[in-house]
Amino acid sequence: MSPLVLLVKTGIYLLMALSLLAAVGVVTFRNIFHSALALAGTLLGVAGIYLALRADFLAGVQILLYVGAVVTLILFAIMLTHRLGDPTIPQANKQSGPALAGLLILAALLGSLFLKTNWPVSEAALTPVTVRVLAKALLGEFVFPFEVVSIVLLAALIGAIVIARKD
């Protein structure tokens, strides 16, 4: 294996590890604002993985939609909600043990299914999809789901403003 290939593989694995570490931070940080920032780091790591897999369009969409819009909306909702810092609201629950047991069972099940599955690759799956084909699909038959998502995000922002408003 050439040194360049080894360096690229090491970089990809490092990016995956950092994304996984940020994802763990999302669910373990006690401060919700820090969790939202860790979510942004996770989503940026996923965009980097898309770039490594030569899916430039998906990386751009990941950054624009998820990091740029969704995480920004979450951060605004956190900042506009004053009750999140209330010390009477419990920050943890007693379900960590059962959740960990369920996670281990799910991981074992998915791992066994992953190893037992035959992964056939056809020639049609190997042909690259151009940005033109993706654009026609997104602006044609899939335009309605994207408009629905924008309405849901707008409703969440309006809801955060209503909650934050002082009576």
Q: With CA atoms as reference, report the closest residue to 164 among 71, 70, 77.
A: 77
The pair of structure tokens assigned to 71 is 């995480």
Domain assignments of the chain as residue spans, ordered by start = 3-83+125-164
Place of tokens 């995956």: 16
CB neighbour list of residue 156: distance below 8 Å, 6 or more residues apart: 73, 77
153, 73 Cβ separation under 8 angstroms: yes
Tell me how crowded residue 90 is: count the other CB atoms within 10 A of its CB: 7
**Whole-prediction pTM:** 0.64
DSSP 69: I
From first to last of its 167 residues, the chain has per-residue pLDDT tens of: 788 888 888 989 999 999 999 999 998 888 888 899 999 999 999 999 998 888 888 898 899 888 888 888 888 888 777 666 566 666 667 888 898 999 999 999 999 999 999 888 777 777 777 778 878 888 889 899 888 988 998 898 888 788 777 66
Q: Please give the pLDDT value at position 79.
A: 79
**What architecture is domain 3-83+125-164?**
Up-down Bundle (1.20)
Q: Residue type for 70, please?
A: V
| Continuous segment of H or E residues that includes residue 72 | helix 71-80
